[in-house]
């Protein structure tokens, strides 16, 4: 096997879930959001581990019905909300078959879900998504009255939840916008109740909302970033200490002494200024080590920082190890994570490239094996 791998500490994810749960208190349920293969960490492994180790696990959240189906096929029994709803009628049927609860944000989805419920001789639960200002999924508050009246025609449907999504819960200078979103949602909830519906769940908060807007919780929070220990989407208010679960490693597969003035990599973007010891790493942008890291990023070798030199290419990346004491063929190289007394976080790496940690962990490709651990590796 090529020596490039990601380590995922499942015990850290379980511990982070537990901390979120303690923070929000026992009246509020916590959804572990594991869409996009658990933000690249591995949804199946996480779901199986959390079910086994957390007696008080409430919900999983995925984006697509297909993601939910994979979890059910892996034996996952916890309630699953499909945050992205479903596309057409055949998928509505799959949701029922696999006991996945979809969000609904178009009128025609009511018809599809009701039809699928009738065909399966059952009732179907769903969560209604309201667009309170994100401008993405959700019906507009102005459509709510018509939506509720339409819903009354479908006795096979159960309005199990009402939800919305905050756009800028992490940005204090946009507090007025967030307060307006919360007020809009509260008004919608009042309208829902006045129409005779009583959804069991009301929810609004992602990780940033969980940290900064406790007055808006409803009775369920949806945590992604916090679960993985990623905190760069939370703004400055991080009242919960979470632990990053993922680290990324490779090894030196070639060491080469080159003279001053040598060109390294595609496009001659780097020339050595001195005689240098250059190491080749078997990782590139196909693995999710983004090309934007070229000539900017650093990695850790023997606990010391070494710069990326030249362009990151598809399968290979070069680093300068001239200043590393005793760099050796086969040395472990840490791209994200700790090495002796130093560390590089996904957040720091993302900041170098002007993005967020989620994009990095989601971008780790299937070519990178995930090694699942339930305790520290060293």
Say which residue the tokens 């760069």 belong to: 232
Q: Does 222 bind ligand PLP (CB under 6 A)?
A: yes
83 counts as binding ligand PLP under rule CB under 6 A: yes
Choice from 38, 79, 225, 297 touching ligand PLP (CB under 6 A): 225
Size of the site for ligand PLP (CB under 6 A): 12
Catalytic residue among 35, 125, 293, 358: 35
Residue 206 vs 250, nearer CB to ligand PLP: 206
The answer to whether the CB of 204 falls within 8 A of the CB of 163 is: yes
Give, in order, the Cα–Cα distances in Å from 227 to each of 15, 147, 245, 246, 377: 8, 34, 9, 11, 20
Burial class (CB in 10 A: 0-12, 13-18, 19+), 162: buried
The reply to whether 207 sits near ligand PLP by the rule CB under 6 A is yes
- DSSP state, 316? -
x/- contact string, 230-269, with ligand PLP (CB under 6 A)? ---x------------------------------------
Residue 100 contacts residue 69 (beta carbons within 8 Å): yes
Q: Which of residues 146-185 bind ligand PLP (CB under 6 A)?
A: 165
Q: Is 35 a catalytic residue?
A: yes
Q: What does 57-88 look like in DSSP terms, one character per residue?
A: --EEEESSHHHHHHHHHTT--S-EEETT--SS
CA triplet 228, 230, 236: central angle to 5 degrees? 140
- Closest C-alpha among 141, 260, 156 to residue 192: 141
In the region spanning residues 289 to 348, those forming contacts with ligand PLP, defined by CB under 6 A, are none
Question: Does 21 engage in binding with ligand PLP (CB under 6 A)?
Answer: no
Q: Tell me if residue 228 is catalytic.
A: no
Residues belonging to the chain: 378
Residue from 37, 206, 276, 357 binding ligand PLP (CB under 6 A): 206
Nearer CB in complex with ligand PLP: 71/333: 71
Q: Any idea which residues carry the catalytic annotation?
A: 35, 266
Q: What residue ranges bind ligand PLP (CB under 6 A)?
A: 33, 35, 83, 165, 206-208, 222-225, 233
């Amino acid at each position: 096997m090529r020596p490039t791998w990601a380590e995922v500490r499942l015990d850290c994810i379980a511990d982070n879930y537990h901390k979120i749960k303690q923070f929000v208190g026992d009246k509020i349920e916590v959804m572990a959001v594991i869409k996009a293969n658990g933000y690249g960490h591995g949804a199946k492994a996480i779901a199986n581990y959390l079910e086994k180790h957390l007696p008080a696990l409430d919900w999983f959240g995925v984006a697509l019905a297909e993601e939910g189906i994979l979890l059910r096929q892996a034996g996952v029994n916890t309630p699953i909300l499909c945050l992205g709803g479903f596309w057409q009628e055949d998928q509505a049927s799959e949701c029922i078959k696999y006991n996945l609860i979809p969000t609904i944000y178009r009128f025609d989805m009511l018809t599809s879900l009701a039809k699928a419920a009738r065909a399966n001789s059952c009732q179907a639960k769903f969560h209604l998504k309201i667009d309170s200002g994100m401008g993405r999924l959700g019906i507009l508050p102005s459509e709510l009255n018509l939506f509720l009246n339409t819903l009354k025609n479908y006795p096979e449907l159960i309005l199990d939840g009402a939800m919305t999504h905050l756009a800028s819960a992490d940005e204090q200078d946009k507090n007025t916008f967030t307060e307006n979103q919360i007020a809009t949602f509260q008004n919608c909830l009042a309208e829902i109740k006045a129409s005779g519906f009583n959804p069991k769940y009301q929810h609004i908060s992602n990780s940033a909302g969980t940290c900064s807007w406790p007055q808006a919780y409803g009775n369920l929070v949806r945590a992604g970033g916090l679960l993985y220990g990623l905190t760069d989407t939370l703004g400055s208010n991080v009242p919960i200490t979470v632990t990053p679960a993922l680290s990324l490693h490779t090894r030196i597969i070639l060491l080469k002494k080159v003279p001053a003035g040598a060109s390294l990599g595609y496009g001659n973007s780097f020339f050595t200024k001195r005689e240098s010891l250059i190491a080749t790493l078997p990782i590139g942008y196909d693995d999710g080590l983004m090309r934007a890291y070229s000539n900017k990023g650093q990695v850790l070798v023997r606990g010391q920082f070494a710069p990326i030199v030249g362009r990151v290419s598809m399968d290979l990346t070069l680093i300068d190890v001239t200043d590393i004491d005793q760099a050796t063929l086969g040395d472990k190289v840490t791209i994200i994570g700790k090495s002796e007394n130093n560390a590089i976080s996904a957040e720091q790496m993302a900041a170098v490239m002007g993005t967020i940690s989620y994009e990095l962990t989601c971008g780790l490709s299937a070519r990178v094996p995930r090694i699942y651990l339930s305790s520290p590796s060293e």
